[in-house]
Structure 1
Amino acid sequence: MTPILEATTLAAGETREARAFLKRRSFNARELMAQRFPPIQELVPGVIATGLVMLVAAPKIGKSWMCLDLDYQASIGGRAFGCIGISQRPTMYLALEDGPRRLQNRMNKLGITKPPATMQFITTLGEMNLLDTIRMFFTSNTGNNPLIILDTLGKVKGMAARVTGENDFERDYRLMTAFKDAVDEVDGATLLVVHHTRKAFSGDFLDTVSGTNGIAGAADTILKIDRQRNSTDGILQVTSRDAAEGEYAMRFDSDTGLWTLTGGSLSEAADAAREAHQTKNVGDLMGDVIHAVNNHPEGVQAWKVAEEIGDVTPEKVAVYLNRAANSNRLSRPSRGVFAPPEKTVNV
């Protein structure tokens, strides 16, 4: 099978042809399979693909702090979440819940003292048409992977007049589809829409997005921040049509407003998020036992865990290991051997 070619291996003419094909509304299967498409572009490699992105969280959790720092890092080609390098691009922040004074105060707190002129703000739309404003910025920056952050959806949702006979789902989906159509017109563009979660608990985080399923249904990527109000620790959940899904542990520094990935990398943050789930609502000793086992993806026995923890007998550790395995916090690949959950081990 011929491998998919990277964008750098496509000639300019081939790239133009592939991008033109992406805008076609109809084609046959033979035409489709003859195409060599450039790879999907990403705003934050490994986390956020370009396109229509939603960032949701409860009020006053730190969404706007995350967005403002991400906006700045994108405008200078810096590092998202403190460690992931991203490419430079023009940005526009529709900060519709903030004014110039608050934005300046937040930028000072984030340590942004010399921002580039390509980092633009709009705090009120006035007579401007929202979709026209979005399209104009994207098309005027074609080829430069522009980024727009809309903070928040609630400030503009009322602008979408209800069509006669239209229910709430249809209205929400129509609005979000209009956003998606606008961002899809320019290859490499990203529209990040900030929104709130509902209070009701749900096992699937997509069901916590406030409003009808029409809001989440049109998005390419959805990000959700979970953080207890008095805690610095949070979890970033990601689901996407095109990028890898995952959960990542993060820390919010209220003194600086910065969100950073725990451990300084995606893999470390993913491991920390998994361990946060494993140790939720457990005591200190159980937490220590689980942490010790997570350091041994190949599998480990009770005596070794007891040795690493110290001041506890292998017999007592074995009791906790079996409890953790019985509650699916750990796996038991073979008799007397314990490993992180969903890990293949060889013993």
Structure 2
Amino acid sequence: MDKRVAKEKTVPIPVVGATGEQPLCNKHNEIIADLNAISMTELYEKVYPPKIPVVDGFLNCGTYLFVGAPKVGKSFFMAQLAYHVSMGSPLWDYPVCQGSVLYLALEDDYARLQQRLSRMFDMESSDHFYMATKSKTLNEGLDMQLEEFVKEHPDARLIIIDTLQKVREAGGEHYSYSNDYEIVTRLKAFSDSHNICLLTVHHTRKMESQDSFDMISGTNGLLGAADGAFIMQKKKRTDNTAVMNIVGRDQQDQELTLEFDRERCVWKKTKAETENISNPVDPLLEKIASFMKEQKEPWTGTASELLERIPDISVKANVLVRKLNVKAGCLYKDYGILYEPKQRTPEKKEFCLSVFNNEKVSIVSEN
């Protein structure tokens, strides 16, 4: 056998002692520990905060791209969306979950915003709609500015960055896949940690494509890291109509036809090519919802105690707890019931069911 090959196949012997180096087995254990891997059983024991849609059937929590050609009407729609979320009024036929909104209109000034908003909404105003025309870039501390806003406004639902290029460092127009992926990943880490929506306005490339999402300026790293994207397109710049394509991880793909009201400068929905597909009704959640409707007050107890109150639920107590852990988001979103694990011991695992009051929810999982 070739001596060089034999040497390569020789297993290195870990050195312990005077060299001060760690044994390889210890390093291996550290690497495994860094993964924070959990088992499937442990996963079912955790409860994660329900992701309440910002605009039900249209916009969820997470980081999204809103892409269109320059002057296609993106900023008008951003102002329209921000106003509706801040007021809690339906956007077209989509229900809205009200909360504070921050609109970083980084290509505008306050005088232009004043004229635009007054034309769109007359003299009606919202105390929960905040805007700024300047911000730091991501490398300069934008994330800290957003942290401060969320801290001051715990009901924050939506932050709009108009545009992505304005929060990148100089020279950001020539980026690789890894750079594009990294910048959206940083934004997504923020939106996920606060359970809000971060909507980032971006531009299309000049080159046409059969797939509208291939027209996003930059690399596929932007869409790859984002939770979804909206593409707004017109056949001609002078058209009053536009097509909005929507794709996302947690929502049904849609294609909407919009018409621009030039008098009020707002977009109206005229057609929806793909309607949302509703999830099938869960009999377990239906029975719990009926129980809570009769209860009319928060209920606290164990799974065994709940099964005594709802005897027609044919599952074991430990299975019921797992189902509630997994279905906490659906229970909250579809039935308005908040499921919260309480302090648990090996002998007793209590939880609370209550009707929520449209406040932002933060659930800490109990192990």
Q: Same fold (TM over 0.5)?
A: yes
**Counterpart of 1:255?**
263
**Counterpart of 1:269?**
272
Kindly tell me: are residues 167 and 271 of structure 1, through their superposed partners in 2, closer, same or farther at Cα, counting changes over 3 Å? closer
Matched, 1:205 2:212: yes
**Counterpart of 1:235?**
243
Corresponding residue SS for 1:211: coil
8 Å CA contact retained: 1:43, 1:190: yes
Superposed CA offset, 1:162-183 (max 9, x none): 9xxx962222211111111111
Kindly tell me: are residues 178 and 271 of structure 1, through their superposed partners in 2, closer, same or farther at Cα, counting changes over 3 Å? closer
Matched, 1:195 2:202: yes
Kindly tell me: are residues 30 and 204 of structure 1, through their superposed partners in 2, closer, same or farther at Cα, counting changes over 3 Å? same
Corresponding residue SS for 1:181: helix
Q: CA RMSD in A?
A: 2.5
Matched, 1:102 2:108: no
TM-score by structure 1 length?
0.63
1:225 Cα deviation from its structure 2 partner: 0.6
1:276-287, aligned counterparts within 5 Å? none
Which of the pair has the greater relative contact order for Cα pairs under 8 Å at 6+ separation? 2
8 Å CA contact retained: 1:48, 1:221: no
One-letter amino acid of the structure 1 residue matched with residue 214 of structure 2? D
Superposed CA offset, 1:227-250 (max 9, x none): 131211111100001111111111
Corresponding residue SS for 1:217: helix
1:40-189, aligned counterparts within 5 Å? 40-80=51-91, 82-125=92-135, 129-142=141-154, 144-158=155-169, 168-187=176-195, 189=196
Superposed CA offset, 1:277-317 (max 9, x none): xxxxxxxxxxxxxxxxxxxxxxxxxxxxxxxxxxxxxxxxx
Quote the Cα distance in structure 2 between the aligned partners of 1:37 and 1:92: 25
One-letter amino acid of the structure 2 residue matched with residue 74 of structure 1? V
Question: Which protein is bigger by CA-based radius of gyration?
Answer: 2
Identity %, equivalent residues: 31
TM-score by structure 2 length?
0.60
One-letter amino acid of the structure 1 residue matched with residue 224 of structure 2? G
Number of residue-to-residue matches in the alignment:
238
8 Å CA contact retained: 2:165, 2:172: no
1:215 Cα deviation from its structure 2 partner: 1.5
Quote the Cα distance in structure 2 between the aligned partners of 1:196 and 1:213: 14
Kindly tell me: are residues 101 and 25 of structure 1, through their superposed partners in 2, closer, same or farther at Cα, counting changes over 3 Å? farther
Corresponding residue SS for 2:125: coil
One-letter amino acid of the structure 2 residue matched with residue 203 of structure 1? Q
Kindly tell me: are residues 97 and 25 of structure 1, through their superposed partners in 2, closer, same or farther at Cα, counting changes over 3 Å? farther
Corresponding residue SS for 2:194: coil
Quote the Cα distance in structure 1 between the aligned partners of 2:172 and 2:68: 26
Q: 5+ residue gaps in structure 2?
A: 1-34, 276-367
1:84 Cα deviation from its structure 2 partner: 1.9
Kindly tell me: are residues 184 and 269 of structure 1, through their superposed partners in 2, closer, same or farther at Cα, counting changes over 3 Å? same
Quote the Cα distance in structure 2 between the aligned partners of 1:249 and 1:88: 25
Kindly tell me: are residues 161 and 148 of structure 1, through their superposed partners in 2, closer, same or farther at Cα, counting changes over 3 Å? same
One-letter amino acid of the structure 1 residue matched with residue 262 of structure 2? S
